[in-house]
Structure 1
């Protein structure tokens, strides 16, 4: 059999760059292509070449990149997670799954799209990330109190919401009203609860829709804290990595955890519960249900006050997380348009369709901005106009 011809203009340097940026090792790529690791190394060294069909699979299915990129003279400038998320230790950054890295790239694309859709100006009248800008040595409880006043949401209103899903929708709406767009997606890497990307005009928060609604609420405010500090950040379900941080990086994560907890479970509530001594599970569940937060957040606030031990906290947190994922495993899927609408958010959808109605962008361009097929636009438009989710 004749040896396949090389592909003129293919840049082997970009083959290697795209693999590393996607978070794949050579063995994984070789297995996906049913080739040997030696073959993939030869392609990246320029000693051999994939077939055009193999290159298409590398581009579209494995690395999630446009085919034309592999013919560029050099890799494009693109900031990698290792430089963006400096409060995550190197060993945790190395564990970021390809799917998580893809979500980060999607978030970067969303930031660019926001600039293009708005002419580079945030449409919100007030910008929380500027008005409440903080530093790691700020008092997290004090900043949390200021945020409550700023958003105009009392503890009584928080208690009145009918469910955690309703609370998440309300908190998301309130934060987006003040200049921070919030996106969602289902992450394969379940231990990642979400992340944020700072920007002078369009900071964004990206939540893992696979975790419990109460966990998403905590992540929303943990990441908002990062943005108030003008930093990118990632929230992991297990935050034991904080013990490996030093200096300002550690101060940042301690601040973000304390801020989110103080905002969602104010000091008065903590005093009320702590006054009863070490609470039973039923008591914790009652308070968590009232405030639409996780039992873990309630217990963490009690841990910070010395009411419960760290061992007890970690044991219960792991137990409650396992219970949630077991229930979720047994649940079914949902409506595509509702899901995409929730992922993208009403404000982002509205911005996109407004530009379409004005003739500024085409249907194909809007589909590209939203990350959907053009055939899905009508369904998304109907959902947006219905105002659901």
Structure 2
């Protein structure tokens, strides 16, 4: 985790200096709230920023997750997802250690998602980390929905409200329906994961601690098994790099190197590449080179 945080800090610092040199303005939403702000207020701001109310009814869950990452980048966030340290597949990131972290900055805020976690859990982690940025905080999160840490509980509440607003959720909740069936139904309705549904139910007081813990643990194992059987994100090396680095960051580094503003040695270090051939091919994949 420490090595991953260090890598992201290095990339964030480079991108911050790049944006300032380009004349970018600081992002006014970073640090615009505090723990005295009503969670629903931050949740509404995040919903608007991610355009959650504008998702088409035909959008499936996979498309909804992809849309969240895209909207976060459009908001000005560097979003990185990885399940290993850099490109070293022998150094896997442990979900038990952390599920994500946020590095707050007015120019280049960064969110890292542990891709070793289930895709369902990653959705909640992303919005949770965005809440930290709204608070202007850098934080490492273990994603424990039962945590007693005040700030973590606050960000959990914001994430739950942003992804499944309480008023709509309560109207759709039917205690007469078996929990597993109801969870699946609400996940389809709100286009969120079943794990988010359970967290939302807990935040709304519909599931007490013991019932929630049992249901959440069982569901987390179920969705993790689905991810394993699906074989992960798939795709080739360059598609994986987009997730690990973030397309916006990678494009900026490659363009800067090609224009002579960043030495190739530094660009290779930032991207984790060792050869010009890999650099050039990735540039072509991103459309920076013909």
Same fold judged by TM-score > 0.5? yes
Matches within 5 A, 1:1-389: 100-119=1-20, 123=24, 127-129=28-30, 133-154=32-53, 157=55, 159-164=57-62, 166-187=63-84, 188-191=93-96, 192-240=98-146, 242-243=147-148, 245=149, 250=150, 252-276=151-175, 279-332=178-231, 334=234, 335-374=236-275, 375-385=277-287
- 8 Å contact from structure 1 (residues 193, 235) kept in 2: yes
* Cα distance, 1:297 vs structure 2: 1.5
CA RMSD of superposed structures (Å)? 2.5
Greater CA radius of gyration, 1 or 2? 1
Deviates further, 306-315 or 319-328: 319-328
Aligned residues: 276
- 8 Å contact from structure 2 (residues 80, 112) kept in 1: yes
Task: Give CA deviations for 1:292-333 in whole Å, capped at 9, x if unaligned.
Answer: 322122122222232222111111111122223333444546
CA–CA separation in structure 2 for the residues paired with 1:336 and 1:281:
37
* Cα distance, 1:206 vs structure 2: 0.5
Higher relative contact order (CA 8 A, sep 6+): 2
CA–CA separation in structure 2 for the residues paired with 1:107 and 1:126:
19
- SS of 1:372's partner is coil
- 8 Å contact from structure 1 (residues 115, 202) kept in 2: yes
4+ residue runs of structure 1 moved beyond 6 angstroms? none
TM-score (norm 2): 0.85
Structure 2: state its 5+ residue gaps. Answer: 85-92
- 8 Å contact from structure 2 (residues 25, 107) kept in 1: no
- 8 Å contact from structure 2 (residues 43, 159) kept in 1: yes
TM-score (norm 1): 0.65
CA–CA separation in structure 2 for the residues paired with 1:141 and 1:103:
32
CA–CA separation in structure 2 for the residues paired with 1:135 and 1:122:
28
CA–CA separation in structure 1 for the residues paired with 2:251 and 2:115:
21
Structure 1: state its 5+ residue gaps. Answer: 1-99
- SS of 1:174's partner is helix
